[in-house]
Amino acid sequence: THNIARLLVELIIGGALVFALVLWFLLSCWEQKRMRNVFDKGTGGARRFQYRDLAAATDHFSEDRKLGQGAFGAVYSGHLKLLDHQVAVKKIVRESSEGHKDFFAEVRTISESKHKNLVKFFGWCSRGHSWNILRFMCSCFWSKKNSELFLVYELMTNGNLNDYLYKSQSSEVLSWQTRYKIAKDIGSGLLYLHHECDPHILHRDIKPGNVLLDENFNAKLVDFGLSRMANQDNATLLTTAIGSEGCLDPQCLKHGKVPFKRSSDVYSFGIALLEIACARRHREQIWDLYRRGGNIVEAADTRLTMGGGLDMREIERVIVLGLWCSALQTQHRPSMRQAMDVLERDGPLPDLNSLIVVNTTLASTTEEDASSAPAAGNRYDCDEAPLLIPG
């Protein structure tokens, strides 16, 4: 009788354990399937890569493969056998899983935005979520503090525009014809984001470092829509200013938390035009030359004049357009449609002296400008309405 009772207890305990394991397995399968659907729906069906394939392509993200380190993560080059294509893999480390919603929204934005002047997006990967059922089951007990997210782009063989404008080791000086084409390429990509996407997309970090060049020096924008990934406090566009110093709209710097607008991108585009033509981003010196009625072409990159045969009128128009786009008052800036009309169709340029009130220093007017910021009920024109990145 004692042995029978002991056997029954063992059978009951063993059966309960088996039942618990089967239930755990079934629940894990259900949760895994649910997460797959969430990931696929959240990213708009963008291709998902396995981590092992990205690791193999980049020699396990070795330093030799590292192309650079930016605000949103490190970038590595590699050859992805699945695509038989050279790729650039951006590795992003998040300290919590709460930011994945923003990440998926950005992936969806990038994957749905297709234009010849936007870097081609191949897909994404999340290392923190394994689709192997055994690993997934184990992750229920042992969760990592940090999760790694990856974006896979085409590799742009000629690097970024910043290196050609400023790096002394870059032996090749871009001709004016190439620079002018790059300016139009940047404008074309930004025009697409601002006026041809629905809803509109803000880049928020236009600068030469985010302009990549292919083997034929065609320019393509990268990192559009990624500024929301900076930290949890910047989940919406009514947020602390994000961007690169010297390229960011002063209105955003003055007012702290502001609704970003297309005009903020236009300002950064104007600074980029000045950098392309003059290899400098400090607009005050160039503006001072314009205001005094001097020859604005004198501000152009001296390396351009070495070869001769330059279209001085074209250079002048690009510099003036750069000043117009980077006007301190947002209402005085053109839209990207107007800017591209100047670049592509010889559109008219205004007399900036009649439009812009010159401020010798931005700091001296910060208090006054902040107190006169538009109230919530004020009207905006179509190019100034506060926008949200999709998602």
C-beta of residue 219 within 8 angstroms of C-beta of residue 117: yes
**HSE, side-chain direction, 13 A CA sphere, residue 64:** 5
Contacting residues for 137 by C-beta, under 8 A, at least 6 apart: 24, 25, 28
Structure tokens at 337: 């449609």
Catalytic residue at 64?
Answer: no
Q: Among 102, 205, 223, 301, which one carries the catalytic annotation?
A: 205
Q: What are phi and psi of 238, to 5 degrees?
A: -90, 85
The binding site for ATP consists of 91
Give the residue among 281, 103, 264 at the shortest CA–CA distance from 209: 281
How far is Cα 324 from Cα 273, in angstroms, rounded to an integer?
10
SS3 74: strand
CA dist 90 and 291 (Å) reads 43
Rg over alpha carbons for the chain, rounded to the nearest Å, is: 26
Using DSSP, state whether 78 is helix, strand or coil.
strand
**Catalytic machinery residues:** 205
